[in-house]
Amino acid sequence: MGHFVAALVLFAVAGFSDALDGFLAKHYHWESRLGSILDPLADKLLLVVTFATLTWLDLLPHWLLWLVLGRDLLIVLGALAYHFIVGKFELLPLWSSKINTALQISLVLLVIFQQQGLFDAELAITMMIWLVVASTVTSGLEYLIIWGHRAWKTSKDQK
């Protein structure tokens, strides 16, 4: 039980520091290309490790972890392929991806709260799992379509 309190505190601190970092970068124009790459990677690493841990503890279904990992792998491999085959690109996060991240964070928090016994969140967790599934598939497809279209357009313009 105490481990879930620590997990909740650490997850909250990580989320708060990420939000603060994003706010400060935008507000004071401290944005950089490196930051635009590392920040989403750090977010993904936090969520993937958290999802893997909750799956290992049998608190999330295994297939959900594989879906989330598959989408993230699709994005990373797609970005690398685009970079090496087509050329430099701007890594702009999509709103569907931001929504997906927010839903994944919400799911993690619900699962942790459930383990604390603060309230029965079983129905909310089930609903949140399906929202995460929908947003994971939607954002993955959106990245695939947008980057595919950009790659096609760029290769067509270069001919």
Distance of CA 90 to the CA centre of its chain: 18
Query: How many domains in the chain?
Result: 1
The whole-number pLDDT of residue 83 equals 86
Percentage of the chain modeled with pLDDT above 70: 98
Q: How confident is the model at residue 4 (pLDDT cuts 50, 70, 90)?
A: confident
pTM here is 0.86
The whole-number pLDDT of residue 141 equals 96
The range of the structural domain enclosing residue 87 comes to 2-158
Tens of pLDDT, residue by residue over 38-76, are 888 888 899 999 999 999 999 999 999 999 999 999 998
Q: How far apart are CA 97 and CA 94, in angstroms?
A: 5
> CB of 64 within 8 A of CB of 132?
yes
The whole-number pLDDT of residue 119 equals 79
CATH number at residue 84: 1.20.120
